[in-house]
Amino acid sequence: MKPKILWIEDEATGDMSSFAGPVYASMKYEFVIAGNASEGIRRIIEAESSPFLAVIVDIRLQPGDTEEWIDYFGQRGKDPKAARLGRELLYWLFKHEQANVKLMDKRPQWIVNQQHRFGILSVETKEELKKDLDELGITEHVTKKEDTPHTVLLDMIKKLVPKISNPARESEA
Closest CA to 60 of 44, 42, 76: 76
Domains delineated in the chain:
4-171 (3.40.50.2300)
Consecutive 10-residue averages of pLDDT for the chain (173 residues): 93 76 95 95 93 96 95 94 95 87 82 93 95 95 94 95 57 42
Cα-Cα-Cα-Cα dihedral sign, residues 123, 5, 115, 49: positive
- Beta strands 4-8 and 30-34 are parallel
Torsion of CA 125, 96, 113, 26, to 10 degrees: -50
pLDDT at 130: 96
The pTM assigned to this predicted structure is 0.90
pLDDT at 155: 96
Query: What torsion, rounded to 10 degrees, do the Cα atoms 168, 44, 138, 29 define?
Result: 60
State residue 4 phi and psi, 5-degree precision: -90, 130
